[in-house]
Amino acid sequence: MTQTTVTGSAVQPVNLFSFDRHGLGEYLQSLGEKPYRAKQVMQWLYARGVRDFDEMSDISKSLRAQFHEQCTTTLPTVSEEHLSTDGTCKWLFELHDGNRIETVYIPEKDRGTLCVSSQIGCALDCSFCATARQGFNRNLSVDEIIGQVWLANKLLSARPETRGQKVTNVVMMGMGEPLLNMSALVPSLSLMMDDLGYGLSKRRTTVSTSGVVPAMDRLTDAIDVSLAVSLHAPTNELRDQLVPINRKYPIAELMDACWRYVKEGSRKKSVLFEYVMLDGVNDNPAEARALAKLLRNFPGKVNLIPFNPFPSSGYQRSSRARVERFQSILSEQGVLTLTRTTRGDDIDAACGQLAGQVDDRSRRYVKFAEPRFGEQFR
Ligand code: SAH
């Protein structure tokens, strides 16, 4: 449990957004309160969107005084806001250490999906992803992850054009690899799905991974959410190049982990396989046939994502004809396939375009002076 921590002589305040319900109950108990007080505090923070202790009128004066002394409800600050012509909204949030992360809200007829970041930058170096080029700084904390949902709802309701819109779905598809930040991811998901948090169902809460196999099993054990897997290639030879973590956890191991996920628990589960369409690289009929073979008997769907370009990526988006050809081969083989429509690309808010502003600690720039496809997973 997180407590007020002492570093040097400065006492760090405890951020109330850093606890899920259980953790908050424990923390309040440590202050001499009954754990059920967590319910009241969460209602203020999440249902009512209130973070000023003085407004928490049903909380006793003495507890509020303790909050003032020991706690904060600090969240990232809005550094930029961009609204796309299609209604997609991208925010650049500044964190306490000056790094900036991106969060994207995508409105659709019957829902509002928030694409949430889990890390500052990313260490995985997927060859077609803009976030990878930023390098990696650190994991986000629970308050920084759940704060993106809190702020998105607040900002949507504050703007006349978007009033009435809110986050109904979360996809952990922003910057970073969520499964490399399990200790903050799990409590954050638990807050998103808690009735006293955002009450999102499992169906509406999706974690996307590039395939960190051991963490996939740990996620299944910890919490029941929807799973998306960034596959992008049907063979190890190709996937090793596009998604370098494949060198550590090759396709057969990844598919085994996917099977364990779908077989766990009573709920009928499936996996969404993401496949970015890179012209002439992974979009040939041969790859479509290999992909169909790999997924034919698997309870899942393929989501074909048009590649979103960014400067010096070296890749081109597949033509519509090539995407259709690819899709029809998969469909003929009985593999369910969707094509994702690109949203928000006029404001660089589309998949893989999120870059934020990362104080890179991974020395990625050194690697980019060398041949592509770093050696770290060999
Ligand atoms: N690290 C996790 C979460 C990021 S999700 C993962 O890899 O799943 C971001 C999704 O967008 C992934 O499927 C990713 O592969 C895809 N993506 C990345 N760069 C892209 C680009 N330039 N164009 C389209 N999709 C991209």
Indicate the fold that domain 5-72 takes in CATH: DNA polymerase; domain 1 (1.10.150)
Nearest CA to ligand 1 atom 5: 173
Residue 359 pLDDT? 78
Q: DSSP of 189-234, one letter per residue?
A: HHHHHSTTTT---GGGEEEEES--HHHHHHHHHH---EEEEE---S
- Look at residue 92 in the predicted model and tell me its pLDDT: 95
Q: What's the average pLDDT block by block, 10 residues per block, for the chain (378 residues)? A: 51 95 96 93 97 96 96 97 91 96 94 97 94 92 98 95 94 97 98 98 98 97 97 98 98 98 89 98 98 96 93 93 97 93 73 71 48 29
Which residue reads 């998103």 in tokens?
A: 192
Going from N- to C-terminal start, the domains of the chain cover 5-72, 77-377
Ligand 1: centre distance to CA 352 (Å): 5
Q: What is the pLDDT of residue 133?
A: 87
CA 129 / ligand 1 centre spacing (Å) = 6
Does the C-beta of 119 come closer than 6 Å to ligand 1? Answer: no
CA–CA gap between residue 273 and residue 279 (Å, rounded): 19
- Residue 351 CB–ligand 1 contact under 6 Å: yes
CB neighbours of 242 closer than 8 A, spacing ≥ 6?
A: 126, 127, 128, 232, 233, 278, 281, 282
Q: Say which CATH topology domain 77-377 has.
A: TIM Barrel (3.20.20)
User: Which residues have a catalytic role annotated?
Assistant: 102, 351
Partnered with residue 209 across adjacent β-strands are: 229
Q: What is the atom index within ligand 1 of the atom nearest the CA of 177?
A: 1
pLDDT at residue 191, rounded to an integer: 98
Residue 2: what pLDDT? 44
Ligand 1 centroid distance, CA of 297 (Å): 25
Residue 227 Cβ inside 6 Å of ligand 1? The answer reads no
Best probe residue, ligand 1, of 219, 225, 249, 274 (max atoms within 8 Å of C-beta):
274
